[in-house]
Amino acid sequence: MNPSPLAVIAGAGVAGLSSAWWLSQAGWRVVLAERATHLRDGGYMMGLSGPGLYTARRMGLVPALRAVEREIGENVYRDRRGRELMRIRYRELLKQIEWITLKRTDLVSVLYDVVRDRCDMRLGMTVAACRADSLGVDVTLSDGRMLRADLLVGADGVHSALREQVFGADDGARRVEQLGYRYAAYDVEDAIGLSHDFVSYAAVGQQVEYHGLGGGRLAALHVWRSHEHGAVPSAARHALVAEVAARTHPEAMRILRHLPADAPIALDDLAMIDMPTWHRGRIVLLGDAAHGLSLISGQGAGMAMASAAVLAQELGRQPVSQALLAHDRRLRPIVQRLQQRSRKLAPVYVPAAAWSFALRNAAMRALPRMLLRRYFLSGLKSELEAAAALA
């Protein structure tokens, strides 16, 4: 009797954990290698809707996700002087749209809980080397263990080391598209009594958002225009965020003073990955490693989950080579639409010039509620279309 096929997955974020669930559900054996010694992911708030929520429902995860949902009461937009630009209650504005607001780390935790007993999970480990042929992939893990796999999945994020190994020599096969912004996310003491509300402070070239988490905590997210990009050492992140916060409303600095200097801060570039192909032989990239959408799109995690489901579905229908082609063919049009949306949204979300900032603020103040509702619905339309395309 032939053993079940083996998949090795690099990365235990949303894409890797989702892939492990779907492949094990389809009868595959799974070895999941994660560089970190403990599960971690970007700590910013996110909304799960469209393809992500559709996939989570198919996985039976909605009750667990609802249990860690972070309800948003009122969302108030202010400028750097504290003047109110707009006030929104999303649940009233978008009554017919279903979504779940939660921290990305909570989504990772829920996925981990349903995956850990389904696969051989190896923390503190990476894929050190790989060599593919027409029948499989020889994978060497960083502890020296060698595996003969039927499929190698690179789900190790926008800075994918596996992508560098497999596609790095081919300049035309990999392109990191910088959107010209950076972001920083962290949890901090609620020094402003926000409770379950959400407040944003905007200035030219930057925006900071605070989500009340309850229990005396806030989730903070800074996004700012930056001509620099690349890794920022952990020890330098607090000072960089303080420099950014000092250029917006004084509330930002007041809140930041409650963050210990050694507290973890997730800090990265807003970047997208644009590749003509996501696979080579029996090696395939998934999620941000293949097609990072940036947090501005609001669909990075959801599309990673959907991509894992489509991959497993196609592998159940046909041989690996054809399945990887079909996976690409089904997802690429959706990803391209969402990436184009990110390109358009970035300068609107955080205007880089004083005139565009003033124009946006004036529009936000004057926009009638009906048009405001239509604007947000149009933004969600692509997400609903994507879910329908994957059904």
pTM recorded for the entire structure: 0.89
Distance CA 350, CA 40 (A): 27
- Give me the tens of pLDDT residue by residue for the chain, a chain 391 residues long: 568 999 999 999 999 999 999 999 999 999 999 999 887 655 678 888 888 888 999 999 999 999 998 877 677 878 778 887 777 776 666 666 778 888 889 999 999 999 999 999 999 999 999 999 989 999 999 999 999 999 999 999 989 999 999 988 555 555 788 888 999 999 999 888 776 678 888 888 898 999 888 788 889 999 999 989 888 999 999 999 999 999 988 899 999 999 998 899 999 998 889 899 999 999 999 999 998 877 766 678 888 999 999 999 999 999 999 999 999 999 998 888 888 888 877 777 777 777 777 777 777 666 655 555 555 555 555 555 555 556 5
Helix (H) / strand (E) element for 213: namely strand 206-214
Place of tokens 């708030």: 45
Q: Smallest Cα–Cα separation from 25: which of 284, 312, 315?
A: 312
> What is the per-residue burial (b if ≥16 Cβ within 10 Å, else e) of 324-359?
bebbbebbbebbebbbebbeebbbebbbeeeeebee
Which domains occur in the chain, in start order? Answer: 6-176+271-389 (3.50.50.60)
Distance CA 67, CA 113 (A): 13
Q: Extract the tokens encoding 177.
A: 């598209």
Show Cβ contacts of residue 12 under 8 Å, excluding neighbours closer than 6 positions: 20, 32, 33, 34, 36, 39, 112, 121, 123, 155
Q: Smallest Cα–Cα separation from 47: which of 90, 96, 76, 110?
A: 90
